[in-house]
Structure 1
Amino acid sequence: MYAMTHIAMHDALNAIDRRSRPYAYRGNARGASPDAAVAAAARDVLVPLLRELPPPFADCVTSGNVVAGVEARYAAALSRIPDGSAKTRGLATGHAAAAAILAARAGDGSGTPLFDTAYPQGTGPGEYRFTPGFDFAFAPGWADVTPFALRSAVQFRPGPPYAVTSQRYARDLAEVKRLGGDGVTTPSARTADQTEMARFWVESSPLLWNRVARAAATGKHLDPWQSSRLFGLLNMALADGYVATFDTKYRAYNFWRPVTAIRNAAGDGNPGTVADPTWTPLVPTPPIPDYDSGHSVEGGAAAQVLKRFFGTDRIRFETCSYTLPAGQTCTDAAPVVRRYHSFSQASAENGLSRIMVGFHFRKAVDEGIAHGVRIGDWTVHNTLRRVS
């Protein structure tokens, strides 16, 4: 949804003044109102996609009157634009750009079931099985969704995780076991800052990285064409990151999560691991295989797009989070803010947080970041290229 919305806005603007290559819609609308085109493009993608969301996400849309909110913002945006031929042409351009990306993505595989209770669980060491508290695997078919920029989901698939009987695996297990516990059932050696960092990055990757991009775009005073290209690239890379990591997780390796590995270490055949049958992570582990870390893929892809777009990694920014304890979130009076001197620093911290929260082995984090960097590079080099 993020990627399609920003592609539509990008293509609408570039039909008015071609500054970068369009993705799905090639029009000629010189003299049209850019503001009208952007508003119509965004509205026409968001409204139908929001209405198509499956439960439980559809419940959030309905209870929060999200579609009504989009329509209200659309009406407010149009009210600020003087009536006339420029507005009319802008609206037509936005409608056309939205229709083009909706048509291009029809049948892209994103209608795959999200909750698979029949997904086969492994029984041997290293084999994925449902994580505690869940009786399903989440979206194993997402690996079949058509990418936006990648040639295929397997294009940059990483090599395998460490063998369960290896010393490197035992080292990684000991690390997440020591640092990733909840501090209640399971003691943890995390510092207070590491606990804050762990919870901070639990938030939705697209939501947080779009917020980072907005801060950078605002600080650099990007114009609408530059912004639309930035957000189009970012969200295509993020979308493709999920497709690619779900291929790696489900189709390639199907590797167990730390919570499963630690609780069942007595039978893993590795003399360097010690079981803790009651080990509990800081946050309940998502019902998805460990390798590679999808959150780390997202961070690597986002940071690389931002780095390539701005031509530098070293841009200072700060951001808040929606997954910190009450009183500390973005919408609270005094939110906790974490500050960074570069995009790659934020990506590295995002990856490290998955160990601190008890979700991933370090191998999954490191390979995930590298996987994301390749996706980010490919996206910038092969889509929405600037034209003279």
Structure 2
Amino acid sequence: MTSGIRTLRGAVVGSILRLSTVVLLVGLVFDPASANAEDMVLKWNDTAARTAVATTPFNQARVMAIVQLSVFEAVNAVTGDYEPYLEPATAAAAGASVDAAVITAAHRALTNYFPAATPGLDAARDLDLGAIPNGPAKTAGMGVGLAAANAMIALRATDGSAPLTTLIPSSTLAGDYQLTTGCAAGLFYNWQNVTPFGIPNASAFLLTPPPSLGSRQYTKDYYEVMTVGSSTSSDRPADRAEVARLYAASSPSFVASMATRQISTAKGLSLSENARALALIMMGINDSLVASFYNKYHHNVWRPETGIRNGWSDDNDKTDGDAGFATFIPTPCFPSYPSNHAGGTGAGLEVMRRLFGAAGHDITITNNVPALGSLPAATITVQYSQLKAIADDVDDARVYGGIHWRFDQTSGGVLGRAIATAVVKNNLRPVRP
């Protein structure tokens, strides 16, 4: 396929609004475990997750990984429980306040990437630091937090996340990615080259090709999304419409943060355990999204909107096509295979499974979603006891939303779990006595 590549210039790019997850900006509801005053790691994770919705889901994952690694490095400098991430490792003076380290590290990282949020972040920092008695321990903790965050910011200064580049597809071949409604270009072309946090490179995680257009699997998935994913579908149950809207408004890093805070609170995990867990989870999510974009632009698969509208052209006599097919939620502006949300969520959940167990949890995922067609704005809340049920709902959300083939979801989950496994096995390991 011949293509043109161009650089996005300026902060406002009209076509980026086609990202279904842009609705994160409408506002977020209160998480029942968001403000555990006894654990500054959890408290500042909540602050970070809410602050990060001001950017794209992919940069959310990147910034959240930077924030949580800054916090981890600061905490670990005091506790020494795990192998450090940074080389050289951050050093802490004896007796340094670990709470002061967490507050300062998170604040420094967040204000670096979200300067517009500085007044609110300053107020939160001052309130939390104000509860710590003044003295050498507090001063030392603030110093180690600042050092950890500054080192992480410097490490990621040239990580390939900027400038954003786009790709304009020119192929009209059946199966190849073509621009969908409202898209001026394929976005985030550079994201496949963003430096990962916990794996050597994204190219080591190349997926096998998707099902061929004439295969039974493609035909099955074609009719599923055509039936339940259209804007006018009468076969989409109300609860599947709700999860489609919920996970269009909730990024993998936001969902994993909310779930982790609740699980940690229920299990009574230590501040050090929380710092490591959240760092590993965000590393896995980010790296899966990087690898997902690598696969997307490698395999270059058309979206359901294109495939269903052009079913007559795919040499599959069982896919007649529907020229008027429109999706329930907006289609993002990049190729279909694999699903970013499946990969990112799958990675976060796999790290969580390895750390917390697969089931027996009490998790509430809740968010405000904007109006969609005739559906009014709403607060949608879903309860889970098993991590896999979250992944299953994310998969349904993208298919019932009309924006992904089911095989996109399956392969995204495979990718996320593989990357999460590598991240956990090779990073932030416990220090053995």
The two structures have a TM-score, normalised by structure 1, of: 0.90
In the alignment of these two chains, the number of paired residues is: 363
Say which of 185, 188, 198 aligns to 1:139: 188
RMSD over aligned Cα, in angstroms?
1.5
Would the aligned equivalents of 2:358 and 2:387 in 1 still touch at CA under 8 Å? no
Deviation per CA, 1:207-249, whole angstroms, max 9, x where unpaired?
Answer: 1221111111111122211111111011011110110000000
Deviation per CA, 1:311-362, whole angstroms, max 9, x where unpaired?
Answer: 4444232221233655632xxxxxx321112111211221121111001111
Measure the CA separation in 2 of the matches of 1:122 and 1:349: 33
The one-letter code matched in structure 1 to 2:323 is: P
Measure the CA separation in 1 of the matches of 2:341 and 2:369: 14
Say which of 378, 381, 385 aligns to 1:328: 378
The one-letter code matched in structure 2 to 1:233 is: L
2:109 maps to 1:45:
yes
- Secondary structure, counterpart of 2:383 in structure 1: strand
2:280 maps to 1:233:
yes
Measure the CA separation in 1 of the matches of 2:237 and 2:174: 31
Q: CA deviation at 1:119?
A: 2.1
Structure 2 match to 1:369: 413
Would the aligned equivalents of 2:90 and 2:144 in 1 still touch at CA under 8 Å? no
Measure the CA separation in 2 of the matches of 1:304 and 1:319: 17
Q: CA deviation at 1:76?
A: 1.2
Q: CA deviation at 1:26?
A: 3.2
Q: Which structure: greater strand fraction? A: 2
Structure 2 match to 1:353: 397
Would the aligned equivalents of 1:304 and 1:373 in 2 still touch at CA under 8 Å? yes
Would the aligned equivalents of 2:358 and 2:388 in 1 still touch at CA under 8 Å? no
Would the aligned equivalents of 2:174 and 2:314 in 1 still touch at CA under 8 Å? yes
Q: CA deviation at 1:160?
A: 0.5
- Secondary structure, counterpart of 1:29 in structure 2: coil
Measure the CA separation in 2 of the matches of 1:29 and 1:264: 65
Runs of 5+ unmatched residues, structure 2: 1-62
Structure 2 match to 1:34: 98
Would the aligned equivalents of 2:364 and 2:381 in 1 still touch at CA under 8 Å? yes
Measure the CA separation in 1 of the matches of 2:126 and 2:241: 43
Of stretches 38-47 and 17-26 in structure 1, the one that deviates more from structure 2 is 17-26
- Secondary structure, counterpart of 1:321 in structure 2: strand
Distance 1:180 1:307, change over 3 A: same
Say which of 203, 206, 215 aligns to 1:157: 206
Measure the CA separation in 2 of the matches of 1:142 and 1:81: 41
Structure 1 match to 2:254: 207
- Secondary structure, counterpart of 2:200 in structure 1: coil
- Secondary structure, counterpart of 1:360 in structure 2: coil
Measure the CA separation in 2 of the matches of 1:14 and 1:298: 26
Q: CA deviation at 1:43?
A: 1.2
2:330 maps to 1:284:
yes
Structure 2 match to 1:332: none
Structure 2 match to 1:111: 162
Structure 1 match to 2:381: 337
Runs of 5+ unmatched residues, structure 1: 52-61, 330-335
Measure the CA separation in 2 of the matches of 1:106 and 1:271: 51
Q: CA deviation at 1:205?
A: 1.8
Structure 2 match to 1:271: 317
Deviation per CA, 1:76-100, whole angstroms, max 9, x where unpaired?
Answer: 1111111100011011101110111
Q: CA deviation at 1:122?
A: 2.2
2:263 maps to 1:216:
yes
Q: CA deviation at 1:112?
A: 3.0
- Secondary structure, counterpart of 2:364 in structure 1: strand
Structure 1 match to 2:424: 380
The one-letter code matched in structure 2 to 1:41 is: A
